[in-house]
Amino acid sequence: MPVQLNKIFPRQWLVYLPAAIAAVGIFVFGLYSLKLDQEKVKINARASVINDLNLVRAKLEANILGNIQLVRGLVAFIAIEPEISQKRFAELGSEIFRNNHQIHNIAAAPDLVITRMYPLAGNEKAIGLDYQKNEAQRDAALKARDEEQLILAGPVDLVQGGRGFIGRIPVFKGSGTDDPGAFWGLVATVIDVEKLYVDSGLLDPGLPIKIAIRGHDSKGADGDQFFGRPDVFSGDPVLADITLPYGSWQMAAIPKGGWPGHSKGEIWLYLILLAAELLIVVPMIIAGKLLKERQIHIHRLQASQRSAEKANMAKSEFLASMSHELRTPLNAILGFAQMLQYDPKNPPSIAQNSYIESIRTGGDHLLALVNDVLDLAKIEADQLQLHIEKLAANDIVAECVAMTAHLGDTRGIKFIDQFSGGPTAYLYADQLRLKQILLNLLSNAIKFNHVNGTVHLQGQATEGGFLRISITDTGIGIAKREYGKVFQVFQRVIADPMVAQEGTGIGLTVTKHLVEQMAGRIGFESEVGIGSTFWIELPLASD
């Protein structure tokens, strides 16, 4: 039963379904892997930026707090000794300057007016500055007073030139006790912007990150940006806060070359993805295509098989009905010819008798041919029915020998029957068909024999429970190269071109089919000019 592929794959696209599923699967898996890889690269890059930024931030924070801490010492001194002279102030200032590189100057402003300064040289312009009257610095100064906190302002342009962060620390007389006491004024220190940046590593050309800082006047993320390029804050930066005594700054950093786009691994993944698609999907598409072609091929084969079967059936039906239609009038011709020959009232003349004999011989041949064709048609249509029964082989062989003996007589051929007279052998066969087989073999043994030749019949049991009946003649024989043709339909073997042969080449084909349908075997041995032995083997039956 041919596989009904069209039922398994009712639609053409279904053939490619496994390939499509594999393609989508690989694509999704690949994209997922790429996303994971990108995430990994991004995380690594951010971790490295965080690391670098933290280093700079730590230095910056330490520098600012270090500066403030030093000034706080001076504030504590003034709180105890509010009437500090410029000389004493300068002594303490120089002490502070010995330890620090970023403080530009320190000023003391009792009642918010700058009266003391260290170093004086270069900062003279600031002496006498009244914070209350200076619009640029007033708010920050008052804030420090009111919040009672250090306020780090700036960076601002300095009166004495340059830029600086100004740390203003409010001083309360007698502070250090529980009651801070009355407001004395401010101690202001200017931290040099450039120096602070350099010492904190912000301007290091070897820094692998771009940094920006915002939070002018310690306003944190809300304050204006005062360091770095403006694009840093908009470039998805890593953020870090610098906590100041009052308020904060916000730092932002991105890698100098920008964030990584595509990693090397990503390119490899693309290649692997492509290779996977090629290695898995392409063969699947080809397999699908082949399967589809096979399906079409099977369809075609089935169609041609059906039409061949139809044609064969039509042929067999035609042959069967034609043979039947031919046999009826043929039998009538033969019957009337016989009646003419043996009519006692009007016996035919010698000449008429010979004509009638010719009609009968020709008719007999034609009838045999029609019978053979009918059998062949039935075999091909698988409609040959057999009636297998237990038979005494000896009787049937004797009957067939008797039926063909007269044919041999006309050519002086002698029969040596060593079988029928022997012990009875039983076999399983269809009686009529067994006779047909034996008659065909015997008539061939006569037909292809020499004048005055012999036909020898033998029977013997063989291994495997068979009865072998062999018919040996002393005729023209069959050449070895022609052996293959003997059982083929319509094939006649020309052993001796000088010997006229009659026949159609159907008899042995039908005989072989009949023997095999009776679970038997048929074969022959032959030698040109010496003769042939044709044998059949049929299943033996017990007595």
Angle at alpha carbon of residue 517, lines to 513 and 520, rounded to 5°: 95
* Closest to 140 measured CA to CA, from 103, 104, 172, 112: 112
Q: Binding segment for ligand ADP among 40-48, 214-222, 423-431, 437-445 (CB under 6 A)?
A: 437-445
Q: How many CA atoms lie within 13 A of 220 on its CB side?
A: 7
Interface with ligand ADP includes 439 (CB under 6 A)?
no
Name the 3-class secondary structure at 419. Answer: coil
Report the residue number whose CB is nearest to ligand ADP.
Answer: 503
Residue with Cβ nearer ligand ADP (508 or 540): 508
Interface with ligand ADP includes 255 (CB under 6 A)?
no
Q: How many residues of this chain interact with ligand ADP, rule: CB under 6 A?
A: 22
Q: 501 with 469: CB under 8 angstroms?
A: no
State which of residues 162, 503, 523, 539 lies at the interface with ligand ADP (CB under 6 A): 503
What is the closest distance, in whole angstroms, from the C-beta atom of residue 397 to ligand ADP in the complex? 17
Residue 10: asked if its preceding bond is cis (omega within 30°), the reply is no
What is the closest distance, in whole angstroms, from the C-beta atom of residue 529 to ligand ADP in the complex? 11
Interface with ligand ADP includes 446 (CB under 6 A)?
no
Interface with ligand ADP includes 486 (CB under 6 A)?
yes
Q: Binding segment for ligand ADP among 232-240, 244-252, 382-390, 485-493 (CB under 6 A)?
A: 485-493
Q: 41 with 150: CB under 8 angstroms?
A: no
- 10 Å CB burial of residue 340 (0-12, 13-18, 19+) is middle
State which of residues 445, 467, 469, 536 lies at the interface with ligand ADP (CB under 6 A): 445
Residue with Cβ nearer ligand ADP (189 or 511): 511
Residue with Cβ nearer ligand ADP (250 or 526): 526
Q: Binding segment for ligand ADP among 229-237, 349-357, 429-437, 440-448 (CB under 6 A)?
A: 440-448
Residue with Cβ nearer ligand ADP (244 or 439): 439
Interface with ligand ADP includes 504 (CB under 6 A)?
yes
Interface with ligand ADP includes 507 (CB under 6 A)?
yes
State which of residues 72, 163, 492, 521 lies at the interface with ligand ADP (CB under 6 A): 492
* Closest to 190 measured CA to CA, from 219, 212, 158: 158
* Closest to 521 measured CA to CA, from 440, 462, 444: 462
Interface with ligand ADP includes 493 (CB under 6 A)?
yes
Interface with ligand ADP includes 408 (CB under 6 A)?
no
Helix (H) or strand (E) holding 241: strand 238-243
Q: Binding segment for ligand ADP among 141-149, 286-294, 413-421, 476-484 (CB under 6 A)?
A: 476-484
Q: Binding segment for ligand ADP among 193-201, 250-258, 395-403, 498-506 (CB under 6 A)?
A: 498-506
Q: What are phi and psi of 147, to 5 degrees?
A: -80, -10
What is the closest distance, in whole angstroms, from the C-beta atom of residue 374 to ligand ADP in the complex? 15
Number of Cβ within a 10 Å radius of residue 42 = 14
What is the closest distance, in whole angstroms, from the C-beta atom of residue 435 to ligand ADP in the complex? 15
State which of residues 185, 288, 475, 520 lies at the interface with ligand ADP (CB under 6 A): 475
Rounded Cα distance, 257 and 429, in Å: 100
- 10 Å CB burial of residue 188 (0-12, 13-18, 19+) is buried
What is the closest distance, in whole angstroms, from the C-beta atom of residue 376 to ligand ADP in the complex? 11
Q: Tell me the DSSP string of 171-233.
A: EETTBTBSS--SEEEEEEEEEEHHHHHHHHTTT-TT-SEEEEEE-GGGBGGGSPEEES-GGGT
What is the closest distance, in whole angstroms, from the C-beta atom of residue 509 to ligand ADP in the complex? 6
Q: 501 with 448: CB under 8 angstroms?
A: yes
State which of residues 15, 427, 434, 508 lies at the interface with ligand ADP (CB under 6 A): 508
Interface with ligand ADP includes 476 (CB under 6 A)?
yes
Helix (H) or strand (E) holding 301: helix 282-341
List interacting residues with ligand ADP (CB under 6 A). 440, 444-445, 448, 473, 475-478, 486, 492-493, 501, 503-509, 532, 534
